[in-house]
A and B are shown apart, each in its own frame.
Chain A
Amino acid sequence: MEQLKTIGRELAMGSQGGGWTGQSKEFLDLVKSIGEARSKAEEDRIILREIESLRRRIAEPDVPRRRMKEYIIRLVYAEMLGHDASFGYIHAVKMTHDDSLSLKRTGYLAVTLFLSDDHDLIILIVNTIQKDLRSDNYLIVCAALTAACKLINEETIPAVLPQVVDLLAHPKEAVRKKAVMALHRFYQRSPASVSHLISNFRKRLCDNDPGVMGATLCPLFDLITADVNSYKDLVISFVSILKQVAERRLPKAYDYHQMAAPFIQIKLLKILALLGSGDKQASGHIYNVLGDIFRKCESSSNIGNAVLYECICCVSSIYPNAKLLDAAAESTSKFLKACLLFSESHNLKYLGIDALGRLIKINPDVAEEHQLAVIDCLEDPDDTLKRKTFELLYKMTKSTNVEVIVDRMIDYMISINDNHYKTEIASRCVELAEQFAPSNQWFIQFSVSNNFTFQTMNKVFEHAGDLVNVRVAHNLMRLIAEGFGEDDEGADSQLRSSAVNSYLRILGEPKLPSLFLQVICWVLGEYGTADGKYSASYIIGKLCDVTEAHLCNDTVKAYAISAIMKICAFEIAAGRKVEMLPECQSLIDELSASHSTDLQQRAYELQALLCLHSQAVESVIPLDASCEDIEVDRNLSFLDSFVQQSIEKGARPYIPEIERSGMFSVSNYTSQHQHETSSHTLRFEAYELPKPSPTPAAPQISVSTRTTDLVPVPETTYYTENNQASKLQPVLDASSADHGIKLHLVGVQKKWGRPTYSASSSTTSSSEKKTNGVTHLDGVSLQSQGTLYDSKGQQSEKQKLAASLFGASAGKTEKKPTSTQRAPKANTATAERPGVARAVSPEISKQKAASSPPPDLLDLGEPISTTTPTIDPFEQLEGLIGPTPGPSTLDNSVTTSEQKAPDLMALYTDTPPSSSSSISSGLGDLHSADKNSPMAKNVPSIKKGPNPQDSLQKDATARHVGVTPTGNNPNLFRDLLG
């Protein structure tokens, strides 16, 4: 540093000789003084002075261009240090217009750093970018592409898109590469505007420059993430590329630290992990090359480990293969055991823990041998590693070890300051406590687990009260009110009195989170006097203290006053006299004059209640009725006699809103909107008009009767997919999509295209069933609803099964350690019972996934229904029942998805026999018509494709592409599939 300063000084002296370079000397001085600034304030002073002088000078007329360049750079520098340089933006924009490469590049650099993509000045740059993209100088093109990437927004994409697409065929590979990336960026910004160009990515995959190919993997990765099924056909291509890379067929220049193009390998592995996930057939292609990489990979270099780690991720994501899993487990243990061998052992441990977390989902036994390593990581000073380990623990939590893990988590939670992570870990604790406690239905476990959950929640509240979700508080209240089972009132009341005891104790603490106070108030109000241990006045006194001591917000006050009201009510109902404590009276007075109307009302209610007769009070606030459902008499039947009397006295009868003429009733409209499931009135008729448009959408279909059959059903299909959504929306969707096809609006079509196709084709299958009779809309919808309920029933049955499994395993854990100190042992104990673990863990993941029951139905349902219309339904369905691969790849517990699949299949297998005779002719037409269509070239690919479902899916998408003639498709498919 000292030396550098000297150099700087010498420089400064040296430049004094040439006075005409003064400008740059200033810049040099600036940077030097910034570097030497002792404090932030000093730095700010310097920069502000600098900005002032720049503001003055940059506005001078006729600044030489090169000097302007320097000003701009100084502005960039000033802005990097956090100061506003917006006055110079326009000059940076002007600089991009310059002819000189160096100035243009500086201009582009400055604008990309200065401007957001919705800045007003962007419009001035678009034109320049357009021009530069056509430049002969490839460096200018590159600079323009870089700027386009950062600055072009959704609206301006069309302006530069043609040029960028042209650049995909540029002779310089550097330009091609950047053009692919720019197109990718456009896609990220607005998928619709470039969706018709997606085939270009596939084409560039075959570029003869490996760099361009590597660049193409980025957009393809994103595309595949969004929609796996359309790209299943590329599995073989990707595998062969990966193989070539791994076998070092690429030029030496792509080697990095003795690894062959590791970044390309990593990207490919990520893509294959997506494509192979839950797909046995696709995974089959991948196994070999993964095995090769495992064998060849150097684990001595950083990048080698990166590839290995990616391999493990891939293995854990695709359809499981025992051999590969072993290899992955072995590499994982290498990571974990990398203690002193490498200087960066922590990085490897981190990856090892992460990999373990992935493998454990497939095979819970993997963790067994690494118990100690995991515990080590938990004790590690490295925070990142610790968190990763907690994540792992969270994943491997079972009813047997939940106490230890949650204890650990809470200890850690208390020790950290990071609010974000505190929240996360608190919610995890609560989740685990909620998830595991109720599953312990065993009598002996009962109170223990109750108390455990309760204590966990209390701790969480005490230490992270302000951070947890309100829902958690409500859950806690419900837990105390309901207990865990109906069988054992004794345990429940025990829990309640222990809750009251501990809360009364906790109230003594100086500072409590408001959410926790709310819970305390509620519990005291509800159960404070229940066991007769504390007198009403004692509890009321405490509650009054709450409002005073914790200068709290209105919500807590409201809770407190309600609690007081409840206690008074219980007392009055029990026939005892309530004597008003002075502090309570003053509280009521205070609140009745409160600014909050809510508090006022509560206070007045309390006062009114005190004057009521004991019987009336009892019916107003019954004892321990918090869990009872309040039945609302919607028809207000108790008023009937009163109404009758009035009418007899000559009052006019009430006319319902609907029957009043000449009035548009909003409420009627909305209520109907909700009940549309069964009744279709206004709404449907209005939207039925555009529906015949499917006919033009599939012009090859000659049988017109069939197409009219298609018409009414789409909304029901949607309805099954999207249980909760209102039905209005889907109708809109369907019709707009149809229009899209008719008009050849590229963006719209792509966006809505797939659902339309699948929907209409599934329509065929469901309406076919009805061809014997009349196509009853209601019938179909009812039927599909039935399907839904069936699967829901299954779901709840599974949950029951899970619960019983948990119970069984919990029975074995009576001797489990409860203290934190014995944590390692406890974990080992868990691992020693692999049988239990294996039985339980799929169910755990099941339970975790249970929050979203519709997916399975959707995922499996969609491809099946797509199948029916295109090819002979019999063969197709038979084929499907066999493999049941399904794109429900999301669920990592493969067993579950397999269990579920046959049932759903069964539902569908009912369909064809009844309909076969009547459909077959129509289907034949469909099929042959399909062959005549421009996409008939796809047929070979269907045959080649390993999985009938996938290829059909692909066919469906391909047909979209086919409708918009990009002209490149035939070549593309030939390229890719040989």
Chain B
Amino acid sequence: MIRAVIVMNTQGKPRLLKFYEFQPPEKQQELTRSVFAVLSGRPDNVSNFVEADAIFGPVIFSSLLFVSFVAEITKKKKQEEFKEGTRLVYKHLATLYFVFVFDSCENELAMLDLIQVLVETLDRCFKNVCELDIVFNFNKIYNNQMKTTVFMYVELGSSYVQMHTILDEIIFGGQVLETSSERVLKAVEEISRLEKSSSSVSFVPKSVSGRFGR
């Protein structure tokens, strides 16, 4: 199971955090900081894997739970297996770290490729993934600005949401859902198409009138 997806810049500032088992905000910050501390200490040209038991501790919410009703001994064995073995895979791209944290039920190399899928999808969706793109799609907005200023700012907030949308299409509840960036892209486009059509019908007039009312 995938436990968390963290995107942060090379200064350790989080750009996207998604934890698949609930963590309070303070804990999220702490985890992000410790992950950054580990990653920043690693030289280039080493492996992309890090054992992260020390940071994330035992798996709270994983296969451990089912084992509860199996025979005692199997349980012990399983606990040994699951208790340890939280790992993270990271990829360093430009000014960003993409980090996936997962337990021993996943394959490290496959996770590395999943990061690749995420990055590819983001790249295709936003044309260029650089740090600020994670929060805002500057380039795209810049182009749009020429056309409609109104939609531009709707877009602004959306792109952050859209990152989450993309991630939700790839990972669902901690499990890998989709691994083809093409199909992810299609799904995301479908969503934004339908969102636009529904919002243009029901929303723009209201909000515009709301603003004019001031």
Query: Is residue A912 within 8 Å, beta carbon to beta carbon, of the partner chain?
Result: no
With known contacts A20-B211, A82-B28, A256-B113, A101–B203 Cβ distance under 8 A:
no
Central interface residue in A15, A82, A223, by most chain B CB within 10 Å: A82
Chain A 344-360 near chain B by CB (<8 Å), digits 1 or 0: 10110111000000000
Q: How far is the CA of A168 from the CA of B164 in the complex (A)?
A: 24
How extensive is the interface on chain B, given as a class?
35 or more
Chain A 536-548 near chain B by CB (<8 Å), digits 1 or 0: 0000000000000
B161 near A105 (CB under 8 angstroms)?
A: yes
Q: Taking chain A's interface residues, is the majority helix, strand, or loop, or is none over half, making it mixed? A: helix
When C-beta atoms are compared, the residue in chain A nearest to B112 turns out to be A302
Query: Is residue A88 within 8 Å, beta carbon to beta carbon, of the partner chain?
Result: no
Which of B20, B49, B182 is in CB contact (< 8 Å) with A253?
B182
In the complex, which residues 666-708 of chain A have their Cβ closer than 8 Å to any Cβ of chain B?
none
Q: How far is the CA of A883 from the CA of B39 in the complex (A)?
A: 50
On chain A, the residues within 8 Å of B42 by CB distance are 382-383
When C-beta atoms are compared, the residue in chain A nearest to B164 turns out to be A109
Q: How far is the CA of A858 from the CA of B76 in the complex (A)?
A: 13
CB distance from B59 to the nearest CB of A (A): 11
Q: How far is the CA of A852 from the CA of B76 in the complex (A)?
A: 10
Chain B 14-53 near chain A by CB (<8 Å), digits 1 or 0: 1011101010111011000000000000110111111101
A101 near B66 (CB under 8 angstroms)?
A: no
B16 near A80 (CB under 8 angstroms)?
A: yes
In the complex, which residues 693-741 of chain A have their Cβ closer than 8 Å to any Cβ of chain B?
721-722
A28 near B74 (CB under 8 angstroms)?
A: no
In the complex, which residues 110-142 of chain A have their Cβ closer than 8 Å to any Cβ of chain B?
113, 115-117, 137, 139
Which of B153, B168, B177, B212 is in CB contact (< 8 Å) with A215?
B177
Q: How far is the CA of A218 from the CA of B63 in the complex (A)?
A: 11
B53 near A420 (CB under 8 angstroms)?
A: yes
Query: Is residue B109 within 8 Å, beta carbon to beta carbon, of the partner chain?
Result: yes
Q: How far is the CA of A102 from the CA of B139 in the complex (A)?
A: 23
On chain A, the residues within 8 Å of B109 by CB distance are 302-303, 305-306, 309, 347, 351
CB distance from B110 to the nearest CB of A (A): 5
Which of A8, A84, A855, A862 is in CB contact (< 8 Å) with B138?
A8
Chain A 23-50 near chain B by CB (<8 Å), digits 1 or 0: 1110110010011000000010000000
B190 near A139 (CB under 8 angstroms)?
A: yes
A101 near B194 (CB under 8 angstroms)?
A: yes
When C-beta atoms are compared, the residue in chain A nearest to B138 turns out to be A7
A420 near B54 (CB under 8 angstroms)?
A: yes
A309 near B16 (CB under 8 angstroms)?
A: no
Chain A 68-107 near chain B by CB (<8 Å), digits 1 or 0: 0110011011011111110000000000000111110110
Which of A4, A20, A139, A302 is in CB contact (< 8 Å) with B194?
A139
With known contacts A80-B17, A106-B161, A225-B78, A188–B65 Cβ distance under 8 A:
yes
On chain A, the residues within 8 Å of B149 by CB distance are 14-15, 17-18, 21
B156 near A64 (CB under 8 angstroms)?
A: no
On chain B, the residues within 8 Å of A227 by CB distance are 70
Which of B22, B161, B198, B211 is in CB contact (< 8 Å) with A73?
B161
A66 near B154 (CB under 8 angstroms)?
A: yes
Q: Taking chain B's interface residues, is the majority helix, strand, or loop, or is none over half, making it mixed? A: helix
A184 near B175 (CB under 8 angstroms)?
A: yes
Query: Is residue A61 within 8 Å, beta carbon to beta carbon, of the partner chain?
Result: no
CB distance from B184 to the nearest CB of A (A): 11
How extensive is the interface on chain A, given as a class?
35 or more
B177 near A24 (CB under 8 angstroms)?
A: no
Chain A 833-866 near chain B by CB (<8 Å), digits 1 or 0: 0000000000000000000101100110010000
When C-beta atoms are compared, the residue in chain A nearest to B168 turns out to be A146
A349 near B74 (CB under 8 angstroms)?
A: no
Which of A101, A215, A266, A859 is in CB contact (< 8 Å) with B73?
A859
Q: How far is the CA of A105 from the CA of B161 in the complex (A)?
A: 9
Which of A27, A349, A890 is in CB contact (< 8 Å) with B47?
A349
A188 near B47 (CB under 8 angstroms)?
A: no
Chain B 152-194 near chain A by CB (<8 Å), digits 1 or 0: 1110111011001100100011111111101100010011001
Q: How far is the CA of A31 from the CA of B160 in the complex (A)?
A: 11
On chain A, the residues within 8 Å of B194 by CB distance are 101, 137, 139
On chain B, the residues within 8 Å of A189 by CB distance are 61, 65
When C-beta atoms are compared, the residue in chain A nearest to B54 turns out to be A420
Among the stretches A175-183, A238-246, A400-408, A811-819, the one at the interface with B is: A175-183
Query: Is residue A807 within 8 Å, beta carbon to beta carbon, of the partner chain?
Result: no
B191 near A105 (CB under 8 angstroms)?
A: yes
With known contacts A105-B161, A178-B172, A855-B73, A27–B203 Cβ distance under 8 A:
no
Central interface residue in A14, A221, A384, by most chain B CB within 10 Å: A384
On chain B, the residues within 8 Å of A862 by CB distance are 71
Chain B 70-114 near chain A by CB (<8 Å), digits 1 or 0: 111110111000000000000000010000000001011110110
Q: How far is the CA of A73 from the CA of B150 in the complex (A)?
A: 18
Q: How far is the CA of A528 from the CA of B103 in the complex (A)?
A: 50
Query: Is residue B119 within 8 Å, beta carbon to beta carbon, of the partner chain?
Result: no
Query: Is residue B135 within 8 Å, beta carbon to beta carbon, of the partner chain?
Result: yes
Which of B17, B67, B105, B136 is in CB contact (< 8 Å) with A28?
B136
CB distance from B24 to the nearest CB of A (A): 8
Top 3 A-B residue pairs of the complex, sorted by shortest distance between their CB atoms: A24-B153, A420-B54, A306-B109
Residues of chain B having any CB pair with chain A under 8 Å = 13-14, 16-18, 20, 22, 24-26, 28-29, 42-43, 45-51, 53-54, 61-63, 65-74, 76-78, 95, 105, 107-110, 112-113, 116-117, 130-132, 135-136, 138-139, 141-142, 145, 149-150, 152-154, 156-158, 160-161, 164-165, 168, 172-180, 182-183, 187, 190-191, 194-196, 198-199, 202-203, 206-207, 210-212, 214
A-B contact pairs, 29 of them (CB 8 A): A7-B139, A8-B138, A11-B138, A11-B142, A18-B149, A24-B153, A64-B206, A64-B211, A66-B199, A67-B207, A69-B157, A73-B161, A85-B25, A100-B195, A102-B158, A105-B161, A105-B195, A191-B69, A225-B67, A225-B78, A270-B105, A270-B107, A303-B109, A303-B113, A306-B112, A420-B53, A421-B51, A722-B72, A755-B71
Known: A65-B207, A351-B108. 12 other contacts (CB 8 A): A27-B156, A67-B207, A80-B28, A83-B25, A116-B22, A139-B194, A174-B187, A188-B63, A226-B63, A302-B109, A302-B116, A381-B46
Residues of chain A having any CB pair with chain B under 8 Å = 1, 4, 7-8, 10-11, 14-15, 17-18, 20-21, 23-25, 27-28, 31, 34-35, 43, 64-67, 69-70, 73-74, 76-77, 79-85, 99-103, 105-106, 109, 113, 115-117, 137, 139, 146, 149-150, 174, 177-178, 181-182, 184-185, 187-189, 191, 211, 215, 218, 221-223, 225-227, 253-254, 256-257, 262-263, 266, 270, 302-303, 305-306, 309-310, 344, 346-347, 349-351, 380-385, 387, 418-421, 721-722, 750-752, 755, 852, 854-855, 858-859, 862, 890
